[in-house]
Amino acid sequence: MIKFPILDSSPVEHDAPLPDAADVVVIGAGVVGVMTAWELARQGQKVVLLEKGRVACEQSSRNWGWIRAQGRDPAELPIVIEARQMWRDMAAEAGEDIGLRTSGVAYLARREKDLADFEAWMPYARDAGLDTRMLTRAETADLMPSQKWAGAMYTASDMKAEPWLAVPAMARAAARAGIVIRENCAVRGLDIAAGRVVGVVTESGRIAADRVVLSGGAWSSLFLRRHGISIPQLSVRATVAATTPLPEVFAGGGVDDQIAFRHRADGGYSLASGGFHELFIGPDAFRALPKFLKQLAEDPFGTRYKLCAPKGYPDAWTTPRKWADDEPSPFEAMRILNPAPNLRIVEDIRQKFAEAFPQLGEVKIATAWAGMIDTMPDVVPIVDHVPTLQGLTLATGMSGHGFGIGPGIGRVTAQLVNGQTPSHDLSRFRFGRFTDGSPIDLGPSV
């Protein structure tokens, strides 16, 4: 099988020397970190972006590549609508083909009941001025040649891009804009003095900065715990399979409760399971369980449980929770979190996709991979300052849909860091919602 494109063996592209000081240090070069850094630089800030592995090596290259407004939490809608425009601007600015296309997203109904669930989201689409519409069986078959579905919810203005091309291209553009990016550079912890952040401690030395952004994806909870800050963040394994090139039956992203598919720029399809992921149980899972009960009750069969995470994973039983600044941290021990795909799922989605589109003939798998999706109990991120530690801002917990909205999250995070009033209401994403007695609010997203 072909290897996944961003691995430990991939060349280091960004190895800028570390300055002694910066206005802002951003930890983690996924889509959120890259875009936050870029937005801060646009505002004239001197920014250092540090990545333990390679740019986009974890979730931001492993995702399905959907840039969707459809189905989102209402608090995310204005941000993702702005992000879709930002994607267009960036694709032009990046000067590389990142596979950005307005190709639509379709939520497909195998049963009439699924249509009723989708329909419940339509008022949010109307309020946001989206072009989302419900499709009948015949209209769905017109959109994509299959008899499998009873109907769909469809947003023609939603988009796609190729994740492992897009985020590295954006990082290159950000570096051209003056951001110092360093790969293979784990941040071991925060430098704290007199109760506030004064910089970061990296494996290659200290950088002074009185503002730090943590966009560490699946590692954020572990990073924070060392400093006595707790967030209920867990990660689940999600498997993706890539077919060899096949004719295009639908240009956009399609998903039902069993399979998800998207035609890639290289001619193959990215296939995944519609509603299945796996949780490796570790100490964080026990700690966060009470907060996740509502999510579990809503979707009791969507998660499979594995007794323990492989060695070195953020929530593995043996992963250290404390370490000294002058000793290697768990972040250096696992530069790229590269979970093995679940091969049973790969075969299952291959078969289901072939059944949905028999005219494609034999569906062959070229490669498969997995990513650890970082998720919050209410399935929306934290984008906020940490009230108990001045100088630290979080943009994490994107809960499986941070790729498309990433540029918008980067923009509002940069505004927060710069002390500006964010251009969108971020109260739903506040840090304190898990400790101030608020009930867990799953929102109406589908």
Ligand X SMILES: Cc1cc2nc3c(=O)[nH]c(=O)nc-3n(C[C@H](O)[C@H](O)[C@H](O)COP(=O)(O)OP(=O)(O)OC[C@H]3O[C@@H](n4cnc5c(N)ncnc54)[C@H](O)[C@@H]3O)c2cc1C
Given the rule CB under 6 A, which residues bind ligand X? Answer: 27-33, 50-53, 57-60, 62-66, 186-187, 215-219, 223, 238, 240, 331, 371, 373, 396, 398, 400-404
Give the residue with the Cβ less far from ligand X, 83 or 288: 83
Neighbouring C-alpha atoms within 13 Å toward the C-beta of 148: 22
To the nearest whole angstrom, how small is the minimum distance from the Cβ of residue 406 to ligand X? 6
Q: How far is it, in rounded angstroms, from Cα 251 to Cα 249?
A: 7
Tokens of 27: 């930890």
Nearest of 186, 237, 243, 191 to residue 216 by alpha carbon: 186
**If we measure between CA atoms, which residue out of 161, 89, 157 comes closest to residue 128?**
157
User: Tokens 């898990």 correspond to what residue?
Assistant: 434
| CB closer to ligand X out of 8 and 142 | 8
Q: Element (H or E) spanning 394, and its range?
A: strand 392-396
Nearer to ligand X, 186 or 440 (CB): 186
Shortest spacing between CB 184 and ligand X, in angstroms: 9
Shorter beta-carbon distance to ligand X: residue 112 or 299: 299
182 or 433: whose CB is closer to ligand X? 182
Q: Which two tokens stand for residue 109?
A: 């109904």
Tokens of 227: 């400093």
Distance between start and end Cα atoms, the chain: 34
Which CA distances in Å does 319 have to 115, 219, 314, 331?
44, 12, 7, 10
| CA distances from residue 234 to 160, 228, 379 in whole angstroms, order as listed | 26, 17, 11
Length of the chain: 446
In the complex, minimum distance from the CB of residue 56 to ligand X, in angstroms, rounded to a whole number: 6
CB of 335 to ligand X, least distance (A): 7
Q: Which is nearer to ligand X, 116 or 324 (CB)?
A: 324
Q: Which of 13, 1, 5 is nearest to 371 (CA)?
A: 5
Instruction: Find the shortest distance in angstroms from Cβ 296 to ligand X.
Output: 20
Contact 56, 167 (CB under 8 A): yes
In the bound state with ligand X, the residue whose beta carbon lies nearer, of 337 and 359, is 337
Nearest approach in angstroms of CB 51 to ligand X is: 5
| Minimum separation from the CB atom of position 32 to ligand X (A) | 3
- Rank residues 99 and 147 by Cβ distance to ligand X and give the closer one: 99
For 104, residues 6+ apart whose C-beta sits below 8 A from its C-beta are 143, 154, 155, 156, 157, 158, 251, 252, 253
Strand order in the sheet with 159-160: 66-67, 159-160, 101-102
Tell me how crowded residue 187 is: count the other CB atoms within 10 A of its CB.
Answer: 25
Burial code (b: 16+ CB inside 10 Å, e: under 16) for 269-280 equals bbbbbbebbbbb
In the complex with ligand X, the residue whose CB is nearer, 377 or 402, is 402
- The first and second tokens of residue 445, run together, are 């997203």
Nearer to ligand X, 151 or 406 (CB): 406
Q: How far is the CB of 359 from ligand X (least distance, A)?
A: 25
The structure tokens 């943009």 sit at 395
In terms of CB distance, is 264 or 433 closer to ligand X? Answer: 264
Minimum Å distance from CB 48 to ligand X? 11
Q: Is the separation of the CB atoms in 412 and 82 below 8 Å?
A: no
402-417 helix and 31-42 helix, angle to the nearest 10 degrees: 40
In the complex, least distance from residue 336 CB atom to ligand X, rounded to whole angstroms: 7
Please compute, for residue 199, the number of CA atoms within 13 A of its CA located in the half-sphere on the CB side. 12
Query: At closest approach, how far in Å is the CB of 270 from ligand X?
Result: 9
